Amino acid sequence: MKLINKKNKNYTQVFHLFTEEEWAKTGKNFNKNIATFFTGKKHEIFVNAHEEGITYFIGLGKSTLQNFEIQQVALKFSQTQKEKLQPAPTLMLADFLNEKQFEEFVKGLLIGTYNYPFERNQPFWNTKFELHFENLSQKKLDHISQKAEALSNGQMACQDWLNKPANFKKPDIFSLYLKNLAKKYELKYTVFNRKKCEELGLGAYLAVNQGSAYDAAFTILEYKTTVKNAKTFGLVGKCVLFDTGGVSLKNSANLHYMKSDMGGATAVLGTLIYAAEMKLPVNITAILPITDNAISEKALLPSDVITAYNGKTIEVLDTDAEGRLILADSLSYLSKNYKTDFLIDLATLTGSSVRMFGDTCGALFSNNEELKNMLIKTGDQTNQRLWNLPLWDVWKDDIQSDVADLKNLSMKPVGDCIIAAKFLEYFIENHPKWAHLDIAGVAFGNVGYAKEKAATGFGVQLLVDLIENYH
């Protein structure tokens, strides 16, 4: 999207933004009949068509609104008006907006163009569309344009891969995409097939993969900056492309939604794209343990005992608690082989977190006060909220096994998202700054662009903001 610091005499399209307070102050300068339809409330749109063109009055709500609310308004405006908007130079009037608020508005306009499958055919992606805004310098506008496009590229990739039907994202298809992406963005790309995983001892990951018709693809992507002494973020994203539950088969009622079980991986993918496009001064080492959780004569059986990468033995009581198995090997492989300042894993992990929080927020667990507070603060700022839950040792007893070091489920009907976090803690190899984000309820849900549940893009703005502000 071209952002230009100028104001011509005539425009056929104008975006005029108001808070309720701004409208109360200046509304009397307009045709008095407009006030019947428009008061500046959040998401209110009044379309004023006149001889010279069209002015869109856009309501932001109270002037105390948070930055993310401006993005929400722009996103909804973009989604609902896309048929009518023209690819033409457009004047934006909003003297009261600061730089960050304007940036949020532009991000919202671009992210609001998303629908599946994503094609850049909305006016905002047309070269003829220019947004003219006098209140910021051209240099600042160029930077905002770059940031907004990098974010939407990351978020669109995240949403597109999550929304793809299962037969369009088999392990070989997704792996080829990541390989090409690594080439495009100059990321270091490493992938381990079944044979290599066996040599390395990635037994927990392989246990989930053994039922698959597709080869293993334990994938490592590394983004490196040239900046000296830069912080390194270790990211792990659960990447189960489709989850049948395995032999512990899921109920068929919502099984079609299980194409969304790679929500952690797509959040990491979007973050890598943003970091590479913005050349962020950090290093990122990301592990995406790609597999499906399938049923076959080779599939893992409840009661099997497996050996994880770090040597711990695990009794598998339920093959549908597979996410924690692939995360276990990913976390310990990352911790043992790479030096990272922060270790964060994201996963659509448990129904328990959905029952607890619905689509309001993700469940957060961390062994580090600073990282925990950073994540909560960033979640509040981006409206990708997290709520902290305890990691008390009282839950350790629930995963002790009679035939192995650990079992992958407590079999109690309560607190499974906490049990899963306690289980993962055994595989971080004493990393001092670890956080586990259970995003099962928030990665996939009700969205403005689709009739059914679909990808929300949760996690991309959260991680991007965290990495950008705390490197």
Cβ atoms within 10 A of the Cβ of 253, count?
7
Q: What are the tokens at 269?
A: 């993918």
φ and ψ at residue 383, rounded to 5 degrees: 60, 25
**313 burial type by CB count under 10 A (0-12 exposed, 13-18 middle, 19+ buried):** middle
Cβ atoms within 10 A of the Cβ of 158, count?
29
What is the reported pLDDT for 470? 82
Where do the domains of the chain lie? 2-154, 169-469
- The residues carrying an active-site annotation are 250, 324
What is the reported pLDDT for 409? 96
Q: Which residue has tokens 């984000």?
A: 437
Strands 342-347 and 434-438: parallel
Q: What are the tokens at 292?
A: 């499906």
Q: What are the tokens at 190?
A: 């490493």
CA torsion angle 55 58 62 66 (round to 10): -130
What is the reported pLDDT for 146? 98
What is the reported pLDDT for 53? 96
Residue type for position 152? S
Query: Would you write out the chain's pLDDT as a tens digit for each of its 471 residues?
Result: 999 999 999 999 999 999 999 999 999 999 999 999 999 999 999 999 999 999 999 999 999 999 999 999 999 999 999 999 999 999 999 999 999 999 999 999 999 999 999 999 999 999 999 999 999 999 999 999 999 999 999 999 999 999 999 999 999 999 999 999 999 999 999 999 999 999 999 999 999 999 999 999 999 999 999 999 999 999 999 999 999 999 999 999 999 999 999 999 999 999 999 999 999 999 999 999 999 999 999 999 999 999 999 999 999 999 999 999 999 999 999 999 999 999 999 999 999 999 999 999 999 999 999 999 999 999 999 999 999 999 999 999 999 999 999 999 998 988 999 999 999 999 999 999 999 999 999 999 999 999 999 999 999 999 999 999 986
Which residues, in sequence order, are CB contacts of 121 under 8 Å at separation 6+? none
What is the reported pLDDT for 471? 62
